[in-house]
Structure 1
């Protein structure tokens, strides 16, 4: 088990990194080909990766943060939406999550973002505590997430005005 001063670093993901996550895709709908297309060929999202070790001698991937940009009509500025954040269990509590947020904050400032948003499962109290107490984030209890999946998206065509 790594010591509390375990070295790690964070960098933007590269297309070669998709192969590293191939082993973890068994239960996901995303294939390496889909990830390659949507993250690198037509980048709908961006990914930061954390590796053990140092840039000159990288070890294994230990975490990732996937994000994209949105737009707020309220602020008239872009925002950064953190879609996924994951840190390997053995590296939690060692500053990797804080380092991800530091890098995301830097990206958000460089892009002129007015805010950062993300979702967290209601049962994930350790993460909620981290976001509120360590980062100073506020829960948006007045908002409820909504979703349409592929069938629902296809069904939207039924609402188009008839010519």
Structure 2
């Protein structure tokens, strides 16, 4: 399924399982930009299983002139305070040479529509503290940083260790 955009020759489409290798390559490219390539352990198999078989997340492919230039991964979460679903944007990645010309705004416009269609009460995502261009872009959308919250994480090894202790 393709979504309409206001940018000529930009197409945003739902990813299909045949896009799994492309998605992984774009994840690695994004991780390199974020200086986090050492943290990527995803494989084509794990992505294919979680996105297309278990349907744990949704993936979109961004194409300009029929050439892939980025991707989006999002899923739905739940807010007890709102008593409703939210949309969590895990990744938005646009290749460097295509940034700054409205593509990110088109992606967010689509995510706004998806969130409303799914009766979501909010959209959330994280941003690395050093990524000033992204922070300024999000601010231009009207997004507010949630500085009073700290993200906590347990890795798979942490979880296994805790289960074994208990």
TM-score by length of 1: 0.85
Distance in 1 of aligned mates of 2:148 and 2:64: 39
Deviation at 1:22, TM superposition (A): 5.0
Distance in 1 of aligned mates of 2:58 and 2:165: 33
Equivalent residue, structure 1, for 2:17: 15
What CA deviation, in whole Å up to 9, does each residue of 1:6-44 have, x standing for no partner? 631111111111133454577531111111111101110
Equivalent residue, structure 2, for 1:52: 64
1:92 and 2:94 are equivalent in the alignment: no
What's the secondary structure of 2:76's corresponding residue? strand
Moved more, 104-113 or 151-160: 151-160
Equivalent residue, structure 1, for 2:52: 40
Q: Which runs of 5+ in 1 are unaligned?
A: 54-58
Equivalent residue, structure 2, for 1:143: 149
Deviation at 1:81, TM superposition (A): 0.5
Q: Which runs of 5+ in 2 are unaligned?
A: 1-6, 29-36
TM-score by length of 2: 0.83
RMSD: 1.8
Contact 2:59 2:74 in 1 (8 A): yes
What's the secondary structure of 2:67's corresponding residue? strand
Equivalent residue, structure 2, for 1:119: 126
Instruction: Point out the structure with the larger helix share.
Output: 2
1:107 and 2:114 are equivalent in the alignment: yes
Name the CA shift for 1:158/1:19 in 2 (closer, same or farther; >3 Å).
closer
Q: Which runs of 4+ in 1 moved over 4 A?
A: 22-27
Contact 1:50 1:64 in 2 (8 A): yes
What's the secondary structure of 1:86's corresponding residue? strand
User: May I ask how many residue pairs the two structures share in their alignment?
Assistant: 150
Bigger Rg over Cα: 1
